[in-house]
Chains A and B, each alone.
Chain A
């Protein structure tokens, strides 16, 4: 079964410092990996995805993620954190199974990012 794990419930970083939010995955077949961000009382916003190709994926708002097949990881990164980046971050993988190949998203438990001034 497909799954993703986010080992940290919360990550704290000072504004201006680099940030990393960790995600590891377990899939059969090719991984289709996604990062979403959720601000309080809002829906999820798509940040970036890995399908194939370059291991470094660039996304919205200056975020990027590094796909590492040998470590089965897909960590989210940003060179310089902003206070406004404080939010809940979800890693997700497409499930290869499902009726009609609808590929439902399977989410990690989420990591709260706190960026302090």
Chain B
């Protein structure tokens, strides 16, 4: 199994809503990532979890709240978002060990988020 599964595929939410994005992988990867991608732009890193602990937060606004309940799951909780937060949200995972630098990341298909 070399898949990263993201749900839902599409999400429309109002600016006062609370919603969550989910990501799951069963490849034994201990590094998991959230990226945000605007149309025809490169993905922008938001958060990195390493061994279920938050290791990088790229100065993301607090209306985005990540959570890693176990080694297979990664969530992104959303609250009071703005229309400019509309984007494709990508989850990724990779091996986490001394050789991490040479390992590729596997990406999910993404959640297309629209904030209205």
- Please give the distance in Å from A25's CB to the nearest CB on chain B: 14
B104/A49 in contact, CB under 8 A: yes
Cβ proximity bits A70-94 to B, threshold 8 Å, 1 near / 0 not: 0000000000000000001010001
A104–B50 Cα gap in the complex (Å)?
11
Choose one: B41, B90, B96, B106; the contact of A46 (CB below 8 Å): B106
B contact residues, range? 20 to 34
Cβ proximity bits B18-59 to A, threshold 8 Å, 1 near / 0 not: 000000000000010100000011110100101000011000
Residues of A within 8 A of B55 (CB): 98-100, 102
A34–B41 Cα gap in the complex (Å)?
17
B42/A42 in contact, CB under 8 A: no
A103–B96 Cα gap in the complex (Å)?
10
CB of B79 within 8 Å of the partner chain: no
A29–B107 Cα gap in the complex (Å)?
26
Task: Specify the chain A residue showing the minimal Cβ separation from B54.
Answer: A99
A36–B33 Cα gap in the complex (Å)?
16
B56/A99 in contact, CB under 8 A: yes
Task: Specify the chain B residue showing the minimal Cβ separation from A29.
Answer: B101
Residues of B within 8 A of A117 (CB): none
CB of A11 within 8 Å of the partner chain: no
- Please give the distance in Å from A59's CB to the nearest CB on chain B: 10
Residues of A within 8 A of B112 (CB): 41
A101–B102 Cα gap in the complex (Å)?
12
A102/B100 in contact, CB under 8 A: yes
CB of A96 within 8 Å of the partner chain: yes
A78–B86 Cα gap in the complex (Å)?
35
Choose one: B101, B106, B109; the contact of A32 (CB below 8 Å): B101
Binding site for B on A (CB under 8 A): 32, 34, 36, 41-46, 49, 51, 88, 90, 94, 96, 98-105, 107-110, 112
